[in-house]
Amino acid sequence: MKLTKEQAQEIKDQQSQENITKRVTAPELEKILYEALPILDHGFIRVVDYMGNDTSIVQAARVSYGKGTKKVNTDAGLIKYLMRHWHSTPFEMCEIKYHVKLPIFIARQWIRHRTANVNEYSARYSILDKEFYLPAQENLAAQSQSNRQGRGDVLEGEQAKKVLKLLKTDAERTYSNYEEMLNERFDGSIIDKNEIGLARELARMNLTLNTYTQWYWKTDLLNLMNFLRLRADHHAQYEIRAYADAMLDTLKKWVPITYEAFMDYRVGGTEVSAKGKLIIKKLIKGEEVLMEDSGLSKREWNELMEAFNLKDKLI
């Protein structure tokens, strides 16, 4: 991640603000406000604004006139109760806004979360930065042989080199031809003064999907957790998980009590189906259970056994 001098200065200016407010604050989050936290090779996330903290959830749940909080203990109990019973509306009372720089193919996954507000850098209007995502060697995974949308082992040796070279060369050439068509370089210099360039809204189509874009992305706490539950999960693509993991850290700094409940009930928890419950009940009683009699498919059976770490029962 490189910032231009100007960008670094703008961020510094924001960070040096000291405003007085009657609003509640999140002191740990304030410490990293505006900071560009590096993700992947050229990406970042920055928390640029927020509203509310753990007490806001309690306040809304109680529809109180004041802070709505009692003791830290009681507040934590209420937040855990709300999380456990899917009383989700109080979590919508907090809001957070990020500035994110990310590769376009990841932006396309991300944008599927519709309950958020987004302003993306416009490639109709401006020229995109000359930055592409190139995976680190250890993330250059082969196609999984068992899971059609998963990753297998890491590619090695010559094949890895070849892939990286192809990615790099293609991104650079298509970008260079993008400039050619625009008749303008990424730094704004004109290539041929006697020509007019192709419209930006057209030229951009020549870029590869690992080109970086950026946006402002704002969401409420409930929808942030929905996002993180899916995107920080080990089924998620590594590249979006890198963003989600960094956002989990900001969640912890922002609303530490909610974070604990979220990790316990959502991230670390599991769902058991009606049929799955019957099996667990039998296992607790020490009874024999067989996949064949369970009504579960092999895949489902294995998912259940893994959830409860019953490795000897995997089929």
Show contacts with a copy of itself in window 242-261 (CB under 8 A). Answer: none
Nearest in space to 241 (alpha carbons), one of 131, 102, 138: 102
**Of residues 42, 218, 231, 253, which one binds a copy of itself by CB under 8 A?**
218
Asked if 93 is part of the footprint of a copy of itself (rule: CB under 8 A), the reply reads: yes
- Residue of 151, 231, 241, 299 with catalytic role: 231
Asked if 187 is part of the footprint of a copy of itself (rule: CB under 8 A), the reply reads: no
Going residue by residue from 11 to 50, which x/- string records binding to a copy of itself, judged by CB under 8 A?
A: x-xxx-xxxxxxxxx----x--xx-------------xxx
> How far is residue 282's CA from residue 284's CA, in Å, rounded to a whole number?
5
Asked if 65 is part of the footprint of a copy of itself (rule: CB under 8 A), the reply reads: yes
Asked if 214 is part of the footprint of a copy of itself (rule: CB under 8 A), the reply reads: yes
Phi-psi region of 287 (alpha: psi -120 to 50; beta: other; left: phi over 0): beta
Residues near 92 by beta carbon (within 8 Å), at least 6 away in sequence: 220, 221, 222, 223
Per CB under 8 A, contacts with a copy of itself among 146-185 are 148-153, 155, 159, 162-163, 166-167, 170-171, 173-174, 177, 180-182
**Of residues 129, 186, 256, 265, which one binds a copy of itself by CB under 8 A?**
265
Q: Per-residue b/e over 129-167, b at no fewer than 16 CB within 10 Å?
A: bbbbbbbeeeebeeeeeeeeeeeeeebeeeebeebbeeb
CB of 105 vs a copy of itself, minimal distance in Å: 5
Closer Cβ to a copy of itself, 37 or 167, answer by number: 167
Show the tokens assigned to 63. 């529809």
Asked if 186 is part of the footprint of a copy of itself (rule: CB under 8 A), the reply reads: no
Tell me which DSSP letter residue 32 carries: T
Question: By CB under 8 A, which span of 191-199, 242-250, 251-259 interacts with a copy of itself?
Answer: 191-199
**Of residues 280, 291, 294, 302, which one binds a copy of itself by CB under 8 A?**
280
Closer Cβ to a copy of itself, 13 or 249, answer by number: 13
Closer Cβ to a copy of itself, 39 or 60, answer by number: 60
CB of 214 vs a copy of itself, minimal distance in Å: 6
Residue 231 annotated among the catalytic residues of the structure: yes
Phi-psi region of 122 (alpha: psi -120 to 50; beta: other; left: phi over 0): beta
Asked if 281 is part of the footprint of a copy of itself (rule: CB under 8 A), the reply reads: yes
CB of 244 vs a copy of itself, minimal distance in Å: 15
> How many residues in the shown chain lie near a copy of itself by CB under 8 A?
144
**DSSP-assigned beta bridge partners for residue 103:** 212
CA atoms 19, 23, 27, 30: torsion sign = negative
**Of residues 2, 71, 124, 193, which one binds a copy of itself by CB under 8 A?**
124
10 Å CB burial of residue 109 (0-12, 13-18, 19+) is middle
Q: Per-residue b/e over 223-235, b at no fewer than 16 CB within 10 Å?
A: bbbbbbeebbeee
Asked if 136 is part of the footprint of a copy of itself (rule: CB under 8 A), the reply reads: no
Closer Cβ to a copy of itself, 40 or 246, answer by number: 40
Contact call for residues 176 and 144 (beta carbons, < 8 A): no
β-pairing verdict for 117-120 and 37-39: unpaired
- Helix, strand, or coil (residue 218): strand
User: Which residues are known to be catalytic?
Assistant: 231
